[in-house]
Structure 1
Amino acid sequence: MKNYPLQINPTSPDSFKPLALRRFMAGWFPSISSEMLILGASIFFSLFCNQLFWPASLAGRSATDIHTWIFAGSIFFIVTAIHSILLGLVVNRWTAKPLLSILLIATAVAGYYMNTYTVFFDTSMMRNIFQTDVKEARELFTWNMLGYVLLYGALPALLVTKLSIRKQAWQRTLVKRGAFLLGSVAVAAVCTVISFQDLSALMRNHKEVRYLVTPGNFIVSSTRTLLADSGDTQTARLPVGADARLAAAWSQRPKPALFVIVVGETARSANWGLNGYERQTTPNMARAHIVNFRDVESCGTNTEVSVPCMFSPFGRHDYDEDKIRKHESLLHVLEHAGIRTLWRDNQSGCKGVCKGLAIQRLDASKQAGVCDGDRCLDEILLTDLDEEIQKHQGENLVVVLHQLGNHGPSYSHRYPESFRKYKPTCEQADLGKCTRQEIVNSYDNALLYTDHFLDQTIRRLQVQSTHEAAMLYISDHGESLGENGIYLHGLPYAIAPKEQTRVPMLMWLDDGFASSSGIDRDCLGQIAKHPLSHDYLFHSVLGILKVDTKAYNKNFDFTAGCRAQGA
């Protein structure tokens, strides 16, 4: 047998490869400069990783118009130049292979979810991702995603690892890198000037398009989110309603108050039976003595935005995410007034709303019949609730029940088999493998279970005897179920469809609570016909519970006109 000649170099990882084989591989994987690798990766991103960006940025333009091609060319060079600049600041001969390999795979993952569910990677979406627990993340991994990531991520990453990056003196490296960055800036500037009018119109009328430029979208949004959140964790929350006191009318109440706020998850108004949906997905609530609010708008399109917003005094009308996250919430104001609060969670936490206050995480419970070892049905929130109420005899108490609700895409896992009324159902997280009707059936079955959960909550409040009780249910945001090819939620608010921003809300009060609070249910029923929003939660709860504070705004209290004066 003929031996291949060997060339030994103990400092080289390829020193023991046959010379002929190394030469053959070198022909396939040539040596290139790090700048050429950056440029090649940037071109790859522009051409193959922006399937949503291109049709969105060129929408309404004729393919036969020369100006369309000029504009498209300008955008291509600008996007490529931007990624070249971002990569040029961090990629060098030592970091190129690991960093680009990770980035290629991360970009493929992002691209899959963007193309499958129409996801925009803005700061709120990145915060949502960072706060997602392992159980939520596991539901999003599918075989289709694996195939996509292998093709658009792992395969290009493998190619990058096979390339040989040229060595050169550090002085020459600095000169070349500086020239490369300046050249990228110049290309971006020239192309911006050439198509300035079209670009400015696009950015002015469709700002959200920038969150489709991949991977720049999640790189920039992640950086901004991490910087903002790291600052929040190091500082105490600014006080809200520190002057809060219970009104004098409290001395006349025969019993303390128990107010339960059920924060629904991903329930949309369009499929809510009480709101005129063709299916009666709320049969128990239809028979209950409740007030249903038909036209309610959410503060955001994902939990990370909506939950902090609805519990803040600022709301959507005065929206400032930084201000909301740096200030105390409604629950802190209630605590200032002497009302005890308790957050019971079957989801991913209170998003800072209950920071420093009592919280019970029940999503990892092991109760048979309610929990399967991975997830718990929402009835886990009612477990031992009676005992918790008894612990607060003689005290006013506000309990928040944070549902798992209709959290997608695994809608069929949000209810027990007995609630599988609408069939056939989508039994997997990969919605692309289900028909739209199967998806809707699963979603509606989950709403049936929420209706059952609310009915069970009311029944427990009716039988307890230590407090006057009331319940307010409101969902955090809605959901898209395939309308216009859009699934799940989280679109930028400015372009989000009403399916993601219109949510159900209802209220139940026992006779004692309504009487002591001076609330006229018939009047409340008339108010329920008018448009409301998450902005009303903070101030309405303060009004209902007779909390005096400068943080209260009567204009955003939907019960203000329905309460007897001096009650």
Structure 2
Amino acid sequence: MRARNRPAAVRGSVLNLAAALWLLALLNEPFWVSLWQATGGWDAEHAAYLLTLPVFALAWVWLTLELLTWGRAAKPVLCTILVLSAAVAYFMHRYGIAFDRGMLTNVMETDVAEARELLSPSLAFWIVGFGVLPALAVAWWPRLPRGLVATVTDKVIVVSAIVFVAGMILVFQTAAYTSLFRNHRDLRLQLVPTNYLSAAHGYVKARLKPSQRLEVVSTGATRTESAAQSRRPMVFVMVVGETMRAANLPWNGYDRPTAPLLSKRASLVNFGKAASCGTATAVSLPCMFLDVGRQGYDDGLAYRRESLLDVLQAAGLDVWWLSNNSGCKGVCDRVQVIDVPAAAAKDCGEGGCTDEVLVEALKARLANVERDTVIVMHMKGQHGPAYYLRYPTEFEAFGPVCRDNALNRCSVEQVVNAYDNAVRYSDFILDQTIRELEARSDRLDTAMVFVSDHGESLGEKGLFLHGMPYEFAPQVQKEVPFVAWLPAATRVRLQLDVACLSRRKDTLSHDNLYHSMLGLTGTRAGTYRENLDVFAGCRASDVNSATRSAKGPI
């Protein structure tokens, strides 16, 4: 009876075509919206071209499925693609993201706590409805048994037909498609499933590269004579923010008091809006600690090349990495690392530990400082989408707030309120960090540098979170705060001219961080570039020399 009720067996190409139609019709709304905007909407004069677009997209997806499904593995592969496509489409639909290798890297390198914040009943329903159910239908539908020769013959015929149709479209619409592909390269990152399949190919290819020996750049690193001869230990604290955008700080023109404590500090130097290396931690964090800059950075380079921390350590400084985030992406692999939540053995609840645990860890480190030291504090910051979990309730100054990880279900105002509360809490953490440094001014000279890894979209143009490809990303994902706290004693010791530093506002990027930290700590190495050191030229002797040169001989 069951055999009679089952439909007639079909060839694999028919199942692939049905799956391609399902994917294009139901899981590619962001792609179709972007394509419609890219073409300018309906135009009767270009009707032929516009009508070919769905056919070409179908041909492309169908061809992809044909090339990936072979023999007995065909159904499992197709079912996996359907389920994965539903998951990817959900996040693209909810947050307006595009999917490339960088986004896949973020997924692969996130921790359990961060991944948990993205889970929700709506995600489960979406994956079941748009992924699992069609996958079960594919698994249940009988596939016509074919021998090896017949399978290859069928595949060649179908692939040839698809390629012919797509080729004819490109031949007769060459100018239109050339313009579309050249001017809207982001479209390929929005077409499910080819976007994440291409990302997976690039990710695996990069990870399968032959292991390389660590490239040593710290050889010969040393301290300048003035730095080496100082009697009092100097502590340089570098705070790495997570997902803080420069646009939401009052000293960059924001009309909300998101940093009431730091705004009162006269010793704070604001370098304004700095350009990030990337739009996600997996790129920006390792890139900012390397000497190669954004243009020279390659995926995974921090695992193959020594970082700023290696150079500082080789020059004789104690170097510590205090983490309240998901790893350092290779840059801290050879220095002293403390996973602060694990070391504190605290049950920090649903959102993990707030950044106050970093201040406690810093306090313990400062008590044991005996020589010049660099301490990096890697914050949890404003990591989304659960911004409301990033701060204690007493810091909820702006309301109402979004308490849903599907941010598009909240109003933009609610999303911004939750984010700004998290920024306000980071202001408190940075101020507490400064207070801990000030409390030891009797025996230590201190300085603090704060820079975030990347920014964030908060609903502008329907985009949320971060991780967009750099060339297409909005400025709010690429502009980050860059500030330095330099108390009077430190300015005197390092001969720094604050007025000179203030003139560097809105001119910096992550490319400056490596060389500026070497300059601030009085460290010299073969990788140091004075033109990228924000402190170079702003020491009292340099400023006086420049003034005398401008005035001519005395």
TM range (shorter): over 0.9
Task: Please tell me whether the aligned partners of residues 266 and 476 of structure 1 are also in contact (alpha carbons under 8 angstroms).
Answer: yes
Match of 2:453 in 1: 476
Match of 2:539 in 1: 563
Task: Please tell me whether the aligned partners of residues 58 and 72 of structure 1 are also in contact (alpha carbons under 8 angstroms).
Answer: no
Paired letter, 2:479: R
1:258 is the counterpart of 2:235: yes
Distance 1:439 1:107 in 2: 27
CA deviation after TM superposition for structure 1 residue 321, in Å:
4.2
Structure 2 regions of 5+ residues with no counterpart? 544-554
Match of 1:387 in 2: 364
Match of 1:305 in 2: 283
1:408 is the counterpart of 2:408: no
CA deviation after TM superposition for structure 1 residue 455, in Å:
0.7
Range that drifts further, 62-71 or 306-315: 62-71
Task: Tell me the secondary structure at the aligned position of residue 295 of structure 1.
Answer: strand
Match of 1:188 in 2: 166
Distance 2:343 2:24 in 1: 46
Q: How does 1:107-506 map to 2 (within 5 A)?
A: 107-231=85-209, 234-288=211-265, 289-321=267-299, 326-364=304-342, 371-372=348-349, 375-393=352-370, 395-464=371-440, 465-506=442-483
- 1:494-516 superposed Cα distances (whole Å, 9 cap, x missing partner): 12112111112211123333222
Match of 2:547 in 1: none
1:96 is the counterpart of 2:65: no
- 1:33-64 superposed Cα distances (whole Å, 9 cap, x missing partner): 11221222223223322212223233254554
CA deviation after TM superposition for structure 1 residue 228, in Å:
0.7
Match of 2:9 in 1: 31
Paired letter, 1:23: R
Distance 1:215 1:54 in 2: 14
CA deviation after TM superposition for structure 1 residue 355, in Å:
2.3
- 1:73-132 superposed Cα distances (whole Å, 9 cap, x missing partner): 433333333333333233134223322222111101111111111111111111011101
Task: Tell me the secondary structure at the aligned position of residue 354 of structure 1.
Answer: coil
Paired letter, 2:360: T
CA deviation after TM superposition for structure 1 residue 217, in Å:
0.5
CA RMSD of aligned residues (A): 2.2
- Residues 185/324 of structure 1: CA separation in 2 closer, same or farther (3 Å cut): farther
Paired letter, 1:424: P
Task: Please tell me whether the aligned partners of residues 57 and 202 of structure 1 are also in contact (alpha carbons under 8 angstroms).
Answer: no
Residue from 523, 530, 554 that aligns with 1:547: 523
Identity percentage over the alignment?
A: 35
- Residues 259/105 of structure 1: CA separation in 2 closer, same or farther (3 Å cut): same
Distance 1:513 1:522 in 2: 15
Distance 2:47 2:115 in 1: 40
Distance 2:146 2:402 in 1: 57
Task: Please tell me whether the aligned partners of residues 454 and 479 of structure 2 are also in contact (alpha carbons under 8 angstroms).
Answer: yes
Distance 1:196 1:159 in 2: 38
Task: Please tell me whether the aligned partners of residues 314 and 320 of structure 1 are also in contact (alpha carbons under 8 angstroms).
Answer: no
Task: Tell me the secondary structure at the aligned position of residue 155 of structure 1.
Answer: helix
Task: Please tell me whether the aligned partners of residues 331 and 341 of structure 1 are also in contact (alpha carbons under 8 angstroms).
Answer: yes
CA deviation after TM superposition for structure 1 residue 374, in Å:
5.4
Match of 1:512 in 2: 489
Match of 1:15 in 2: none
Range that drifts further, 288-297 or 475-484: 288-297
Distance 2:247 2:448 in 1: 22
Distance 2:414 2:161 in 1: 52
Paired letter, 1:539: H
Structure 1 regions of 5+ residues with no counterpart? 1-18
Match of 2:503 in 1: 526
Task: Tell me the secondary structure at the aligned position of residue 383 of structure 1.
Answer: helix
Range that drifts further, 59-68 or 126-135: 59-68
CA deviation after TM superposition for structure 1 residue 175, in Å:
1.6
Task: Tell me the secondary structure at the aligned position of residue 156 of structure 1.
Answer: helix
Match of 1:22 in 2: 3
CA deviation after TM superposition for structure 1 residue 183, in Å:
2.7
Task: Please tell me whether the aligned partners of residues 269 and 484 of structure 2 are also in contact (alpha carbons under 8 angstroms).
Answer: yes
Task: Tell me the secondary structure at the aligned position of residue 503 of structure 2.
Answer: helix
CA deviation after TM superposition for structure 1 residue 246, in Å:
1.1
- Residues 560/219 of structure 1: CA separation in 2 closer, same or farther (3 Å cut): same
Task: Tell me the secondary structure at the aligned position of residue 507 of structure 1.
Answer: strand
Task: Please tell me whether the aligned partners of residues 365 and 371 of structure 1 are also in contact (alpha carbons under 8 angstroms).
Answer: no
Aligned length: 541
Distance 1:184 1:433 in 2: 40
Distance 1:152 1:480 in 2: 27
Task: Please tell me whether the aligned partners of residues 274 and 280 of structure 1 are also in contact (alpha carbons under 8 angstroms).
Answer: no
- Residues 312/138 of structure 1: CA separation in 2 closer, same or farther (3 Å cut): same
Distance 1:297 1:230 in 2: 31
Paired letter, 1:270: A
Distance 1:432 1:176 in 2: 45
Q: TM-score, normalised by structure 1?
A: 0.90
- 1:110-165 superposed Cα distances (whole Å, 9 cap, x missing partner): 11111111111111111011101111111111222223222221221121121001
Task: Please tell me whether the aligned partners of residues 281 and 444 of structure 1 are also in contact (alpha carbons under 8 angstroms).
Answer: yes
CA deviation after TM superposition for structure 1 residue 479, in Å:
1.0
Distance 2:478 2:62 in 1: 37
Paired letter, 1:310: M
Task: Please tell me whether the aligned partners of residues 269 and 486 of structure 2 are also in contact (alpha carbons under 8 angstroms).
Answer: no
Distance 1:502 1:62 in 2: 30
- Residues 303/64 of structure 1: CA separation in 2 closer, same or farther (3 Å cut): closer
Distance 1:200 1:167 in 2: 41
- Residues 501/373 of structure 1: CA separation in 2 closer, same or farther (3 Å cut): closer
Q: TM-score, normalised by structure 2?
A: 0.92
- 1:337-384 superposed Cα distances (whole Å, 9 cap, x missing partner): 22221111111111111123222222446666x822650000111223
